[in-house]
Structure 1
Amino acid sequence: MNDDYTTLSRRQMLAALGGVGLASAGAGLGTSAYLNDTESFDANTVTAGRLDLKVDWEEHYSFPQLYGFDDPTVGLDVTRTEPTEPSAYVGLPDPENPMVWVREDDLAAYMDATAIESFPDPDGDGAQEMSTEDFEYVPCEDGADTGVHFDPSVEGALRTRNAGTYADGEVKPLVSLEDVKPGDFGEFTLSFHLCDNPGYVWLQAANVTESENGLTEPESEVDETPETPELAEQIQTAWWYDIDGNNVIDESVGEVDVMIAVDTSGSLSDDQVGELADAANTLASDLVADADARVGGLTFGGDDVGNFTALADSPVTFSGLSAGGNTPMPAALEIAAAELDANARPDAETFVVLLTDGGPNYANKTYAAGGFTVGGDYTGGDPGDSEIDDSEMDETAAIAADIREDHHILAVGINDNRAPTGREGEPGVPLLSTYLRDQIAGTMANYFSTTDPAAVTNVLDAILDVIATPEEVFRRGTLADDLAALSSGNGIPLDAGRSTAFDELADAPDDPARQCFQAGVNYFVGFAWWLPADVGNEVQSDGVGFDFGFYAEQCRNNDGSGPAA
C-alpha cells in the first residue's frame, strides 16, 4: 500500500526546494519570489525585494554495497561494540544511540566511503565536490531549485546517478529506504543558501510513500498487519543543525583560540577598513563573552603585516586603521598560524578568521610581526601590479592547505561574485568566492559572503556559531512521526539562532525568539536515521521514500507566522 502524507505534486515539491515566497500582494512559486517588502520607482517600474533559495546535499548509508560501492570499513577502525577508549571514537549516526564507533582519525575517510549520493557530484562517485578542474560550484547559480536538478539522467546533471537515485527510467526520491536491515543507519545533510535577502525557512517533506512490497516468509510469521508497512514506525531519527557541515552530530564545544586577520589593502577605502575593524572587534568581544575563548589578531595590506595582538583573555581591538597597497595574504595566514602554534592552549580548537575583499597580491620578501618571521621562501608574488596572478593564488592556496592540517580557516569574502582583480573575462579563472571557499577556507561551512564591508556584521552570528556554539539536535523520534510533522501545515519552522530558546516543534513559528537566516551564509540541516538491532522480522521487505523541501519567506515585513496552512 502507499500512504500519501501530502497533496503536493512532485513538481510543486521541487519548486518548494527552490524557495516559495509569500506576501500580502500575492504568492509566487519558483526559484525567485518577488515580495512587496521594499518598493522603489525607477524609470516608472516597480522593483521589489527578491528571495532566492538554493539547495545541495550529501547522503550516507552504512551499507553502500547495496548501490555498488565498496565495503566502507576496510582499512579503518570501525567497531559495533563500545571501544575501551571511547573519547578517541565518534559514535554514529547519533552519539546518544550509536550503531557503530569510528576512530576519530578515520572519520573523514569513513564518511567519504559511505557517501552514496550528493549534489553537486560532477564525477559521480557519491561524494560532494565543490570544484574540479573543469567545474566550480556557485550555489546561487548552480544550486538545485527545479525538477531538472533532481534528474541524474539529464545531460550535465549534478546529482549522483546510481541505483539509489534513478531506476527503471524514473527519478527516485531524495530518501529511498529499501531492504533495510536491523543495525543499518544513514545520514542526509541538506545545505540551503539564501541568495538575496534574509528569510524565515521551514523544512518540509512530500511525496511520502510507504510500501510492504509483499511479505517474506519470516515476516509473514510475525506481521499481524500485512497491509500496513511498519518500517517508518521502527526507524529512529535525529535532526540537528549541522553547523560545520561535516554530517556528524557534535553537541559539545570546549576551549577555542582565534586569530582574526583584517584586510587593509588599497582596494578598500579608509571608511571600509574601519567597518571591517568594527566587525572584527564585535566578533572578538562576542567570542570572549560567549565562549571559553582567547582572541588575537593582525592586519595585512600595504606590503606589511601589522597591528599584531597576541592571543589573550581580553579580546583584540582594532582602531585607527587605514587602507593602502597590496594584499600579503599568505604572510597574514602564516603569522596567524604561527601564533596559534606557539601560544594556543593545548586542548583548544584553533581558528584563523580572514576578512578580505580580494585575492593575494604580494612581494616575495620576509614579513615580521609578533616575533614571527615568514616569507623568506615565497616565489609566487608579483608586486609589479595589482593583478592577482595564478602563482600568487597557487602559493597562497598551498600555504592555506598546510595550515588547515592543524587549524581551521574561516574566510569572509566581500564583493566576491567576480573574478580576481585583473583577471576579468579570462577563461579558466575561478571566481573570487570559489577560490576563497575551496582553496583558503577549504569547506563550504567555513566560508561567508557579503556584498560590502558594512554587511560583514550580518554574518557574525554565523561565524560565532561555527567557532563556539554546540550543534543543536532539535528533534529525536521516529521517522513516522517526523514525516507527519514535516508534512503538516507549512512543515517544521527552522531557527537561525543557535543560542535562542525557540523550540522548533512546540513553539509558534512567529515566536519572537525565532531568528531569520542570512544571505551569504551556508546553512546545514542534518538528518540521521537508524533501524535498531533488536527490530524483528515485521519490517522485512518494507520500504519508505520521501522528498525534502523548504518553504522560505522574506524577513522584512513578515513575522515568521507563514501562510495560512
Structure 2
Amino acid sequence: MTDEPMELSRRKLLGGLGAIGLASAGAGLGTSALFSDEESFESNTFAAGELDLKVDWEEHYSYPQRYGFDDPAADLDVTRIEPEDDGYVGLPDPESPAVWVAEDDLPAYMDNTSIESFPDPNDDGVQEMQDGEFAYSPCRDGADLDEHFDPVGGLRTTNADTLVDGEVEPLVSLDDVKPGDFGELTLSFHLCDNPGYVWLRARGVSESENGLTGPEATVDDSPADPELAEQIRTVWWYDTDGNNVVDESVGAVDVMIAVDTSASLSDDDVGALETAANDLAADLDANADARVGGVSFGNDVNDFTALADGPVSFSGLDADGSTAMPAALDVAAAELDANARSGAETFVVLFTDGGPNYENREYSTGGYTVGGGYTGGNPGNSTVDDSELDETAAVADAIRGAHRILAVGIDDDKRPTGREAESGVPLLSTYLRDDIAGSPGDYFSSDDPGTVSGVLSAITDAIAMDEEVFHRGTLADDLAALSDGAGIPLDAGLQTSFDELSDPDDSPDRECFQPGVNHFVGFGWWLPADAGNEVQSDSVSFDFGFYTEQCRGNDGGGTSTVDDGGDDEGDGDEATATVTAQGFPSDDDGATIETVDVEFPFALSGASVDDTSWSVGPSGSEVVAIDGDTVELDYPDNSNTYTSDTFLELTVSGIAAPSGTYDVDFVFEDDDSAVDSTDQVTI
C-alpha cells in the first residue's frame, strides 16, 4: 500500500474508479481440467482515503482421494439417497443435494473434504488461524498478491492440489470431474481501512470443446459449441457464519449481551457501548423471533436483564475497575441454560476493549452465582496474565459447546494490558477471535467505541437473518452476470430488498461493507449425476474475484462521478488517458482469426479505439465495438492465417481510470481454439 499522494483531485480520482482494491483468482471448469486456468491476484490501492482488500479461503471437493486424502465419508453417516429422517444437511445446495450428511457428522465431513485453504500453516488442507507462534491477522497476512498463491514457504496449503511437478496450481484446480462430483469454495474478504462497495466479477471467459471423444461424438449435435458451462450447476450465497454450508432457515433466537465497563474505557466510551448494545437489542427484537437479555462487567457483573424481561435497555453505565470477563460469560450462559426456549439458537454477544483481569471470587447477579472455582485471576495488578487468558478461554470453550459466542473487539490491534512489549503474546484481536469467539465468522472489530455501530448490521445478520442465496443457476448464467460491467454487486445488508441480479448497482437499497467484519461468500458447484456424454472433454476457463470501491464519495455505480462538493474549475472534465497494448494469438501457425476480445480491468465508458495494427493482419472488413470493459474486434471475411510472430497492437483513448499498471487480456478466437495472452499498460 502506498502513502504517496496522487496528482489527481479527489473528484477526478473518485470519478474514475474511486479508490479501488482488486483481488482476483483464476479459475476454470473442465471435464479434464476443472478450474484449470492461470490465476492472477492483484491489489491496487490509491490514497484518497486508504482502501485495501484482503482475501482468504477454504476449498472442498467431494473426491479428495485423488490428492492423497482418505475417503471423506468413512465412518460417517453420508448418503446419496435422500434420507427419510430429519437431521441431515444437503450438500452443496440444500435445494439440489448431491449428498446428505448427518448433522452430527457435518463438521468432520467438511474437514475431510477440505483440500486446500489459506491460511494453512500446517498443510492439512483445513484453514487454521493459529499454529505455534503463528497467529493470522487478515489485514497483515491476507492474500492480495501473486506471491500469496505460492504454497512454498507461504500460508497456502502445500499438497498435490496446489503444487504439481514444482508448478503452482490455480486457486481451484481439479481434473477428470465425473457426473455426481461437487465442490465448494468459501472466500472471506476483509476491508482493512474504509467501508466499501464490493462486486463479485469474472473476466477472460474462454470455452472450448477440445475436440470430440467417441462417446461425445455420438450425442453432441453442436460440435462447435461447448456444453459444459450449461451443465455445471452452481449456487452463490452470503455465508454469514463462514461454515461453508448454505444455512437458509433461522428460527427463534435467544441472546445475552455482555458489555465491558472496565476502567480502560472512559465514561463516554462506555456510553457509546451502551448505545450500541441497546441498538443491537432493538434491531434483533424488530427483525427476528428474538429475546434479548444482558449484563455488564467491570469489577463486578451488574445490570442484569433476563431474557423474559428483554429486550435489554442498558442505562447509566459507568466505567469502573477491572475486567471480570469470565464471570460475565458464565452468567450469560447460565441464563441461556436456564431460560432459553426449546429449539431456539442461543448466543452471547461480548463487547470488550481488553483482556480478562479479575478477582478469584464468587460473582452474583440475576439469581446466578458463578466464579467459585476461579483460580487464574490476579487482582493485584492491571496486567492481563497468562493464567487469566487461559482460564477465560477455557470458560468460553465450555460455553461454546451449547451457545455461540460473538465477540466485538474494540481497539484490538494491540497486545493485552501490561503485555504490550512482550513477543509471543497474541494480539487482543487474535485472542478474542480464536479463544473467545472461536471462529473468524463470529468475530467483529471496531477501532473505537464510537464506531461499533458500523458492525451492528453484520451482527444482526449473523444471529437472526437467513443466509441469502443470491444466485442459483448454471455456470453459463454465472459467467454472463459476472462478466457484465463491474460484475455482480454484492449487498452488505441481508435485511434490505436489494436484488443482486436485477437491481442497479447504485440502488439506494444496497449497503456498503464495513471494515472489522469477516465477510464470506460461498460458491458451490456440481456436475449432475445425469450429465451426458456431450460434455466429455469440454472446458471453460475464467478469472473471478472481488472488486471494491470506497463508499465515501461514490454511489456504488461501479465508476462513480459523484461530485464531492469541491470548487475545482476543472472538475467537470474527466481526466483521460490513451494506452497501447500488444497481444500474440498463439505459438502455433496456421489458424484463421475470426474475433478478438481485448479485456481491460475497468469500464471503457467514453473510450474509443484509435488504431488496430497487425503484423500479419486479417483480410476483409474489421468490425470494432466496445462492450463494458471489452474491445470486440470481428473479422467476418478473413481468409489469412497467422504465423508464430503474428501480433495485434491496439490503441484506446479516452480511458478514465486512476494511475497504475494494469493487465490487459487478449482472447483470440480462431477456427482451432481460443488462445489468451496478456500485456500490461500503465496509466
Counterpart in the other structure of 1:146: 145
Give distance in 1, aligned partners of 2:540 and 2:132. Answer: 38
Counterpart in the other structure of 1:159: 156
Give distance in 2, aligned partners of 1:488 and 1:264. Answer: 49
Q: CA deviation at 1:257?
A: 0.2
Relative contact order: is structure 1 or structure 2 higher (C-alpha 8 Å, sep ≥ 6)? 1
AA at the equivalent of 2:15 = S
Residues 16-165 of structure 1 aligned to structure 2 (within 5 Å): 23-24=14-15, 31=43, 33-35=45-47, 48-85=48-85, 87-153=86-152, 155=153, 157-165=154-162
Of residues 288, 292, 299, the one that matches 1:295 is 292
AA at the equivalent of 1:106 = D
AA at the equivalent of 1:394 = D
Q: CA deviation at 1:152?
A: 1.7
Taking a change above 3 Å as real, the CA distance of residues 300 and 314 of structure 1, as seen in their structure-2 partners, is closer
AA at the equivalent of 1:535 = A
Give distance in 1, aligned partners of 2:436 and 2:542. Answer: 36
**Aligned partner of residue 517 in structure 1, secondary structure:** coil
Q: CA deviation at 1:168?
A: 4.1
Q: CA deviation at 1:491?
A: 1.0
Counterpart in the other structure of 2:450: 454
Taking a change above 3 Å as real, the CA distance of residues 399 and 405 of structure 1, as seen in their structure-2 partners, is same
Counterpart in the other structure of 1:175: 172
Taking a change above 3 Å as real, the CA distance of residues 25 and 62 of structure 1, as seen in their structure-2 partners, is closer
Q: CA deviation at 1:250?
A: 1.1
Give distance in 2, aligned partners of 1:324 and 1:74. Answer: 54
AA at the equivalent of 2:56 = D
Counterpart in the other structure of 1:418: 414
AA at the equivalent of 1:179 = D
Residues 450-489 of structure 1 aligned to structure 2 (within 5 Å): 450-489=446-485
Deviations 1:255-303 (A, max 9, x none): 000000000000001111111011101111111111101110001102x
Q: CA deviation at 1:207?
A: 4.6
Give distance in 2, aligned partners of 1:290 and 1:118. Answer: 34
Give distance in 2, aligned partners of 1:207 and 1:328. Answer: 55
Q: CA deviation at 1:179?
A: 1.0
Question: Is 1:187 aligned to 2:180, yes or no?
Answer: no
Taking a change above 3 Å as real, the CA distance of residues 337 and 446 of structure 1, as seen in their structure-2 partners, is same
Task: State the number of aligned residues.
Answer: 529
- Structure 1 gap ranges (5+): 1-20, 36-47
Q: CA deviation at 1:25?
A: 6.8
Give distance in 2, aligned partners of 1:425 and 1:220. Answer: 69
AA at the equivalent of 2:266 = S
Taking a change above 3 Å as real, the CA distance of residues 547 and 384 of structure 1, as seen in their structure-2 partners, is farther
**Aligned partner of residue 226 in structure 2, secondary structure:** coil
Give distance in 2, aligned partners of 1:28 and 1:509. Answer: 17
Give distance in 2, aligned partners of 1:66 and 1:227. Answer: 31
Of residues 537, 557, 562, the one that matches 2:553 is 557
Taking a change above 3 Å as real, the CA distance of residues 381 and 53 of structure 1, as seen in their structure-2 partners, is same
Deviations 1:19-52 (A, max 9, x none): xx961377667645235xxxxxxxxxxxx41111
Counterpart in the other structure of 1:40: none
Give distance in 1, aligned partners of 2:541 and 2:185. Answer: 13
Deviations 1:490-537 (A, max 9, x none): 111111110111111111101111110001111001111111111112
Of residues 266, 283, 289, the one that matches 1:269 is 266
Question: Is 1:493 aligned to 2:489, yes or no?
Answer: yes
Over the matched positions of the two proteins, sequence identity in percent amounts to 70
Give distance in 1, aligned partners of 2:215 and 2:326. Answer: 64
AA at the equivalent of 1:306 = N
Q: Is the 8 A contact 1:306 1:369 kept in 2?
A: yes
Give distance in 2, aligned partners of 1:362 and 1:277. Answer: 22
Give distance in 1, aligned partners of 2:280 and 2:70. Answer: 44
Taking a change above 3 Å as real, the CA distance of residues 498 and 96 of structure 1, as seen in their structure-2 partners, is same
Give distance in 2, aligned partners of 1:32 and 1:336. Answer: 44
Q: Is the 8 A contact 1:256 1:348 kept in 2?
A: yes
Question: Is 1:242 aligned to 2:239, yes or no?
Answer: yes
Which stretch of structure 1 is more off in the superposition, 334-343 or 372-381?
Answer: 372-381
Taking a change above 3 Å as real, the CA distance of residues 32 and 380 of structure 1, as seen in their structure-2 partners, is farther
Q: CA deviation at 1:352?
A: 0.2
TM-score between the two structures when normalised by the length of structure 2: 0.75
Give distance in 1, aligned partners of 2:82 and 2:16. Answer: 57
Counterpart in the other structure of 2:201: 204
Give distance in 2, aligned partners of 1:524 and 1:441. Answer: 17
Q: Is the 8 A contact 1:59 1:117 kept in 2?
A: yes
Taking a change above 3 Å as real, the CA distance of residues 544 and 130 of structure 1, as seen in their structure-2 partners, is farther
AA at the equivalent of 1:333 = L
Question: Is 1:327 aligned to 2:323, yes or no?
Answer: yes
Q: CA deviation at 1:221?
A: 3.0
Deviations 1:180-236 (A, max 9, x none): 111111111110010111000011123545454554443343234455432222000
Report the aligned-residue RMSD: 1.8
Q: CA deviation at 1:117?
A: 1.1
Give distance in 2, aligned partners of 1:228 and 1:324. Answer: 71
Taking a change above 3 Å as real, the CA distance of residues 159 and 314 of structure 1, as seen in their structure-2 partners, is same
Question: Is 1:382 aligned to 2:378, yes or no?
Answer: yes
Q: CA deviation at 1:444?
A: 0.6
Give distance in 1, aligned partners of 2:136 and 2:356. Answer: 21
Give distance in 1, aligned partners of 2:544 and 2:169. Answer: 12
Q: CA deviation at 1:136?
A: 0.7
Q: Is the 8 A contact 1:176 1:545 kept in 2?
A: no
Give distance in 2, aligned partners of 1:458 and 1:498. Answer: 15
Deviations 1:310-349 (A, max 9, x none): 1026311101111111101011101100000000001100
**Aligned partner of residue 51 in structure 1, secondary structure:** coil
Q: Is the 8 A contact 2:20 2:548 kept in 1?
A: no
Of residues 544, 548, 555, the one that matches 1:548 is 544
Give distance in 2, aligned partners of 1:29 and 1:256. Answer: 38
AA at the equivalent of 1:459 = V
